[in-house]
């Protein structure tokens, strides 16, 4: 049966092209050119090949020296913090948030990062904006010694507004099986050492943004408690803990399979107690003294501005603690010295106890994030500036 061919467009009509559908491949190529130098700065001797391949390659020959190498992997985004970056038209800091959320999750098991990749979805590719986002990712990757090995920028016209974007990333690392950190190493008598956050990091921004909107505050508002604008405070990048955590592990390495750093907890969504409980084994309780540090001003401003209950605040935001090390008691002072030598404030947060016979004095948190493990007793009153 014969078929009638589709009629050609009239002389005054143009056919539908990819560009007219909203996808600008030339802009994508321009973005790649702009980000090449940033990506190159993250490369290590282990990287094979250059920018632009279908896949990134890392030489892992050194893993032959491992007795039983375990690969660790994590993936994450930065949530609604991207809305602040978009509103301020500042895009070169959000990348550090992405690296912090991803790479600092794999160091929790004691893994050394081998590589990271990123993914940016946007309504319309603006080469300079994409390059700024990637530059932020690359700068943070370089800071933690992790090659940014590959990525993808996807243009989604009709699904996202032209100025909207979202970012995600994934990282892979390696740890010797008998050096892996975790709840099974934690013992009663271990000390909890807190490492300070740089601010809100990348969690709880739906709450924060709702509070700010309800109060009618603009991002350009000067806030005396911050010594800068609201927008600058909210966009403060996430602190990076990978190097300092690895330094702690390596500096205190005794050569034995079980070093004095027993576990690490990255304080992200859910707050301090919920994340710490994940790395404590069943039968043990960690006590966390709220009065052991001063809550940074940004958290108290959010609390007062939105009349947010303390319990809701501590179940959502980090309140000034970004990472916790669970260490043998004799190593606590050394761990604090390593952190402070890296420019991160650290202090004793509490101690680990046997659950049997332990008398709870505050709010007991357990069974969080689907982990059937230990518990955290968070007690006393917060101190504010």
Domains along the sequence of the chain with CATH: 23-43+66-176 (3.30.1330.10), 183-384 (3.90.650.10)
Q: What is the DSSP letter of 323?
A: E
- Of 171-185, 245-259, 292-306, 324-338, give the lowest mean pLDDT range: 245-259
Could you report the per-residue pLDDT of 116-168, keeping only the tens digit for each?
999 999 998 888 899 899 999 999 999 999 999 878 889 999 899 999 999 99
Q: Exposed, middle or buried by CB within 10 Å (0-12, 13-18, 19+), for 309?
A: exposed
What is the β-pairing status of strands 57-58 and 47-48? antiparallel
Phi then psi for 213, rounded to 5 degrees? -65, -45
pLDDT for residue 2 is more than 80: no
pLDDT tens per residue across span 63-99 = 999 999 999 999 999 999 999 999 999 999 999 999 9
Residues contacting residue 61 through CB under 8 Å, at least 6 positions apart: none
Helices (runs of H) and strands (runs of E) counted in the chain: 11, 17
Say if residue 53's pLDDT is above 90. Answer: no
- Residue 43 confidence (pLDDT): 65
pLDDT higher than threshold 50 for residue 189: yes
Q: Is residue 382 within 8 Å of 291, Cβ to Cβ?
A: yes
Q: Percentage of the chain surpassing pLDDT 70?
A: 86
Average pLDDT over residues 308-325: 97
Q: Which residues, 6+ apart, have CB-to-CB distance to 162 below 8 Å?
A: 123, 124
For the record, the structure tokens of 99 come out as 């690296």
Angle between the N-to-C axes of helices 242-251 and 94-106, in degrees from 0 to 180, rounded to the nearest 10: 30
Q: Which two tokens stand for residue 232?
A: 């600058």
Q: Average pLDDT, stretch 244-272? A: 88
Its pTM stands at 0.89
CA distance 230 to 218: 7
Q: Average per-residue pLDDT in the chain? A: 90
pLDDT at 24 over 90: no
Quote the pLDDT of residue 319.
98
Q: Which among 273, 244, 272 is positioned nearest to 336, based on CA atoms? A: 244
Give the per-residue pLDDT at 315. 95
332-367 burial, b at 16+ Cβ within 10 Å, e below that, comes to bebbbebbeebebebbbbbbbbebeeeeeebbbbbe
């Amino acid at each position: 049966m014969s078929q009638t061919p589709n009629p050609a467009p009239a002389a005054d009509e143009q056919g539908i092209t990819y560009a007219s559908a909203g996808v600008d491949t030339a802009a994508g190529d321009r973005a790649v050119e702009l980000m090449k130098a940033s990506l190159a700065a993250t490369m290590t001797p282990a990287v094979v090949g250059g920018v632009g391949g279908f896949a990134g390659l890392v030489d892992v020959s050194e893993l032959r020296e491992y007795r039983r190498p375990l690969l660790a992997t994590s993936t994450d985004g930065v949530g609604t913090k991207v809305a602040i970056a978009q509103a301020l038209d500042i895009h070169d800091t959000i990348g550090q948030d992405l690296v912090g959320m991803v790479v600092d999750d794999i160091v929790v098991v004691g893994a050394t990062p081998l590589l990271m990749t990123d993914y940016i979805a946007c309504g319309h590719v603006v080469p300079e904006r994409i390059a700024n986002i990637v530059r932020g990712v690359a700068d943070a990757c370089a800071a933690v010694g992790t090659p940014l090995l590959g990525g993808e920028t996807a243009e989604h016209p009709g699904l996202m507004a032209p100025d909207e974007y979202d970012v995600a990333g994934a990282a892979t690392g390696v740890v010797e099986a008998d050096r892996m950190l975790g709840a099974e190493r934690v013992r009663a008598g271990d000390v909890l050492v807190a490492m300070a956050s740089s601010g809100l990091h990348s969690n709880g921004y739906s709450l924060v943004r709702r509070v700010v909107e309800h109060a009618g505050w603009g991002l350009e508002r000067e806030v005396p408690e911050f010594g800068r604008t609201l927008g600058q405070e909210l966009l403060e990048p996430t602190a990076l803990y990978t190097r300092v955590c690895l330094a702690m592990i390596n500096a205190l390495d005794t050569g034995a399979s079980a070093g004095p750093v027993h576990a690490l907890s990255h304080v992200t969504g859910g707050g301090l107690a919920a994340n710490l409980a994940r790395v404590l084994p069943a039968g043990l309780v960690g006590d966390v003294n709220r009065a052991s540090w001063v809550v940074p001003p940004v958290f108290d401003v959010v609390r007062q501005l939105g009349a947010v209950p303390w319990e809701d605040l501590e179940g959502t935001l980090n309140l000034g603690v970004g990472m916790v090390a669970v260490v043998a008691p004799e190593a606590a002072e050394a761990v604090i010295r390593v952190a402070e030598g890296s420019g991160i404030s650290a202090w004793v947060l509490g101690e680990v106890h046997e659950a049997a016979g332990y008398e709870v004095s505050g709010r007991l948190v357990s069974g969080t994030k689907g982990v059937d493990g230990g518990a955290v007793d968070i007690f006393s009153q917060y101190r504010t500036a």
